[in-house]
Amino acid sequence: MMKSTQPITLCQLINPFFLAWYLLCLAIITFFAYIDSPATYGDDAVHTYCTILESGDDSRAFTVPVSLLFMLPLFIKLWRSLVARQFTPSILIALLLVYLLWSFFGVYYSC
């Protein structure tokens, strides 16, 4: 007899608490990256990320460690998922880390 296969739902693939914490970290990174964006400065002199970097008025010394602190449970989950060979959480956490690096450092790379 053949077993009937049922489709795998998202809750079976990813823990809902992991997904909620992931989305919280994504929102925190996006918010902290927006603090240093040229749109938040009221001066007409600030038009690009390079002028923010030249003025020395960026807050990355505070926002990056706070973002990494919020990501600490995800790094623990990354280690456990790699040991258990669960690659879906690992890929999501790696994408979040790339987004963090791009948001705080990649936009300044061309300066």
Q: Which residues contact 58 (CB under 8 A, 6 or more apart)?
A: 36, 52
Q: What is the mean pLDDT of each run of 10 residues along the chain (111 residues)?
A: 57 71 86 74 64 67 81 81 77 85 77 72
Q: What SS3 string covers 37-53?
A: CHHHCCCCCCCCHHHHH
> What pLDDT shows up at residue 8?
53
> What pLDDT shows up at residue 42?
63
Report domain extents, the chain: 15-32+59-108
> What pLDDT shows up at residue 57?
62
Q: What is the pTM of this model?
A: 0.68
